[in-house]
Structure 1
Amino acid sequence: MPRLIHDKTTWFTYAQLGLWGFFLYGFGPVVPLLRDEQGTSAAVAGLHSTGIAVGALLGGALFAPVARRLGRGPTIWLGLAGVAAGVAALGLLRPLPATLAAVAVIATFGMLVVSGVNVVLTTHHGPAAPAALTEANAACAGMGILAPLVIGAAVNSGHGWRPVMAVEVGLIALVAVAALAFRVRLPKTFPAAAAAGGPAAGAPAEVTAAASAATRAAHRLPRAYWIAWVLMSATGSIEVCLSLWTADVLRSHAGLGAGSASAAVAAIVGGMFVGRLAGGRFALRWPPVPLLLGALTVSLAGFALFWTAPIGWLAVTGLVVLGLGNALHYPLAISIALTVAGPAADKAAGWSSYSMGVGFGIAPVLLGWVADGVGPHLAFLLLPGFLAASALLTLRLSRALRAARPTTPAGGPVLSAPGRG
C-alpha cells in the first residue's frame, strides 16, 4: 500500500490551496450582497460567476508557459500574490465593471495556484498522489466552511462583507511569512526520473501503464487524459449547480425560509470536508476508478434523499450525503489526469482549468433556463443526468487505462495487481 508522507512541502501546498478555497467558497454568499449594493438584478449579479469562468480559462492558458519560465513553486506564489491583489481590489471598488474585472483577475491567478498545487503534489507523492490531492481539497473545503462564517459574523456586526477581503490578504501574507520562517522551497520541476517520463514506482498498474503511454507520446496528452477532462467538466457542473441553486429548492420544496436555506447550503461543503478527510485514507487502499464509481453512487443516493425530502432537516441530511460523495470527484479525476499526462503534466494542469470554466460558464445557465420553465425543483433532475454521464465517462476512462497497459516482451499483459501496495 502506498504511504503518504506529510512533509513541509505537503503541508504548505495544502495551506496554499486552502487560501484559494477561502475565496472560492466564500464568494457565493457575497454575490447577493453585491447585488443589493449595486442595485442590479440576480441575472446581472450572476455575471460574477461568468467572470470566474473567464478567469479560469485565462489561468489555464497561462499556467504551462509561466511554470516553464518560473518553475512550479514560484508560479504558485505568483498566483497567491495575484489573488491577494484581486481580493484587495474587490474589497475597495464598488462599480459593477470594477468588481467583475476583480473577480476575473482573482480567478486567473487562482488557477495558477490550483494547477501548481495539483502538479507539485502529483510529482512529489507519486503513487500516494490521489490521497494527497484528496487531503489538499479537504483543506480547501475546510476553509470553505470557515469563510461564510466569517462573512456572516462581519455582516451581522454591521461591518459588511468587504473587511473580510482583508482577512484573505492577511492569511496569504501569513502563509508566505511562515514559508520564509520554515525555509520551505517548493519544487520547481519534475524529479529526474519523472522528467524522463518514467512513472512512479508502486503506482497502480492501470495508471502506471497510461503514464508510460504518455511518455512514448512525447508530451502529447493521451486519450485517457481527455476522457478525464470531460469527466471533470461533468462533475464540476454538479458542484456549481448545487452551490448556486440548492437554496431555491430548499425554499420551494422543503419549506425552509430564505436565511435557513442559504445557511443549509453549507451542509454540502461540510460533507465534502469530511469525505475528503476520510477519502485520503481510502485512496491509499483502492485504485482511483472503482473509488470514483463508489463516490458517484453515494452522490446519487444523497441527491435522491435531498430531492424527495418534503421537510427541511431530511433534505439537509441528503445534502450532507451528497457532499460526502462529491468530495472525491475532483481529486480522483485530476490525479488520474495528471498521472497519465506523464512529462506533459504542466500542460495537462493548465488545460484542466478549462473544465472548471466549462462548469461555471454553461451548467448554471442551462439549469437556470430549465428552471424558468418548470421550476427549480424539477430542473434539478438535470443533476442525475450529470451523475450518469460521469459514471459512463469513468467506465470509458477505465477501458482507456487498460488499453494503455504495457505488455511483456512476449506480448502478454503485465499481471501486476492494480492499486494495492
Structure 2
Amino acid sequence: MPHTIKRDSYFWLIALQSSCVTFFLGAFGPSQALLRADQNTSLTVAGLHGTSMGVAAILAGYANSHLVHKFGRSRTGWIGLAIFSFGVIIFVASKPVQLTILAALFAGFGVSVVINNFVTSLTAHYGKNAAYMVTKANAIGSVSFVLGTLTVGLIADSFREFWRIGILALLPFALYLFFFRRDKNEVEHIPSEEGPQGGKLSAHFWISLFGFFCSIATEFAISFWAAVLILDRTGASPAISTLVVVAFGSGMAIGRWFGPAILKNIEIDSQIKIYMSTQFVGFAVLWFSHNLTISFLALLVTGIGVSSQFTLTSLRLIGLSDGRPDLSMGKSSLAAGFAIGLSPFVLGLLGDNLGISRAYLMVPVLSLISLLVIQFIPSHVEQEVELQK
C-alpha cells in the first residue's frame, strides 16, 4: 500500500539552497550579451565565461568526495554556497573581462558543489522516494531559473546600466537561509576512518556516465544556441533571445513539477526514456519550424523533455556505484563539466563551418546515444509508489 511522504523542513532547505544557484544560472545566459557589450569583447572571448563554468564543474568533481569526507554533506553544501556567493559578488562588481571570467570560475565551482550535495542529500534523506522528491525540488529550482532570466532581462530593458543588480538579488536570500533556516543542532560530522569514497567503478557505470555526458551536452547545446537557431529559421529580432531561454526554462519547470506525479508508477529507466523521447519530438519540431510561435512551443516541449534527465540519470549512476553516492556525484560533476565546456563550443564551431541548422543535428545524435545506453544497461534503481502531503 502506498505511503505518504511530505516536503519537510530539510527538503525546503536543500531545495532553496539549490534555487539560489539556479537563479544565477537563469540570469547568466542573458547577462552574457550585456556583459559582452559592456566589455566590448568578441564572441570567442565572451564565451570563455561559459568555458570557465565548465572547468569549475570539473574541479568540483575532483573535490567533491574529499570535501564531503572532511566536512559532511550539510557543511559542504554551505561551503559551496559561500564560494558561489563570493564569485557572484566579484562577477557583478568587476569590469575587466579577466576578472569576470575568474569570477565565473568561483561561482561555477560553488554551483557544482551545491548541486552535487543537493542530489546526494535528498537521496540519503528520502531513500527509495528520492526520484520523486529530487525532481520536485528541481522543479522549484526551475522556477528560480526563470525568475533569474526575467529579472535580468526586465531590468536591462528598463534600466540598462543597472542589470547587474538583478543578479545580486539572490545574496540576501542566501544569507536568510544560512542564518534562519540552517539546522543549528545538527550532529557534528566525524570523517570516516576509511577516507573519502573511492575505488574502482564498474564498466556499466562508466558507459552510463558517457550516456549522462551526452544527455547534459544536449541540454547545454540547446540552452546556449537555441536563440541562434530560431533567429536563423524565423528571422526574428535578436531581442527574442531572453524569451527563448524563458520558454526552455518554463518547460523544465513544468516537466519537473508534474512529471513525477504522472510517471510515479513507472520505473526510473522507463521514465528517462519517456523524457528523452519527448525531448526528441520537441527538438524535431523546433529544427523543422520556420514559424516563431511553433518554435517557442517546440522549445517548451523540449524543455519538458530535458527537465528530469539530470536528476534521473544521476540517480541511475548512484545505483550503479555500489553504494558510493558521493564518488558517483563527483564523477557526474566531471562529466557535466566536460559537457558544459565542450558542447556549446563544438556546436558553435560546427555552426561556423556548416551553418547552425546542420550543426544542430549533433543534438539528436547525442540524444540517441543516451537512449541506447539506458536501453542496454538497465540500472534497476528501485522506486516506490508514493503520495504527497
Deviations along 1:317-364, whole A, 9 cap, x unmatched? 111111111112111101121233243211111111011111111111
1:272-421 paired onto structure 2 within 5 Å: 272-282=252-262, 284-398=264-378, 401=379, 419=383, 421=385
Matched, 1:46 2:37: no
Aligned-pair RMSD on alpha carbons? 2.4
1:26-175 paired onto structure 2 within 5 Å: 26-158=27-159, 159-175=161-177
Deviations along 1:223-260, whole A, 9 cap, x unmatched? 33323321221111111111111111111102321112
Q: Which TM-score applies when normalising by structure 1?
A: 0.85
Would you say the 8 A contact 1:228–1:334 is kept in 2?
Answer: no
Structure exhibiting the larger radius of gyration computed from Cα positions: 1
Aligned to 1:223: 203
Deviations along 1:381-418, whole A, 9 cap, x unmatched? 111111111111111221xx36xx9xxxxxxxxxxxx6
Counterpart of 2:178, as a letter, is A
C-alpha displacement of 1:219: 5.3
Mapped to 2, the partners of 1:186 and 1:322 lie a distance apart of 42
Q: Which runs of 4+ in 1 moved over 6 A?
A: none
Mapped to 2, the partners of 1:220 and 1:8 lie a distance apart of 36
Would you say the 8 A contact 2:112–2:333 is kept in 1?
Answer: yes
C-alpha displacement of 1:179: 1.1
Mapped to 2, the partners of 1:300 and 1:25 lie a distance apart of 23
Would you say the 8 A contact 1:54–1:357 is kept in 2?
Answer: yes
Mapped to 2, the partners of 1:297 and 1:177 lie a distance apart of 43
- Using the TM superposition, name which of 158-167 and 268-277 deviates more: 158-167
Counterpart of 1:92, as a letter, is A
Would you say the 8 A contact 2:198–2:327 is kept in 1?
Answer: no
C-alpha displacement of 1:161: 2.0
Q: What SS does the aligned partner of 1:297 have?
A: helix
Deviations along 1:54-85, whole A, 9 cap, x unmatched? 11111111111111111110000011011111
C-alpha displacement of 1:188: 5.4
Cα gap change, 1:149 to 1:188, in 2 (>3 Å): farther
Counterpart of 2:66, as a letter, is P
Mapped to 1, the partners of 2:187 and 2:156 lie a distance apart of 37
Cα gap change, 1:34 to 1:218, in 2 (>3 Å): closer
C-alpha displacement of 1:265: 2.7
Would you say the 8 A contact 2:286–2:295 is kept in 1?
Answer: yes
Aligned to 2:179: 177
Instruction: For structure 2, list consecutive stretches of 5 or more residues without a partner in the other structure.
Output: none
Would you say the 8 A contact 1:73–1:186 is kept in 2?
Answer: no
Mapped to 2, the partners of 1:115 and 1:322 lie a distance apart of 24
Mapped to 2, the partners of 1:184 and 1:284 lie a distance apart of 34
Instruction: For structure 1, list consecutive stretches of 5 or more residues without a partner in the other structure.
Output: 191-195, 197-216, 406-417
Deviations along 1:4-28, whole A, 9 cap, x unmatched? 4311111111111111101112101
Mapped to 2, the partners of 1:80 and 1:325 lie a distance apart of 28
Q: What SS does the aligned partner of 1:65 have?
A: helix
Mapped to 2, the partners of 1:40 and 1:323 lie a distance apart of 30
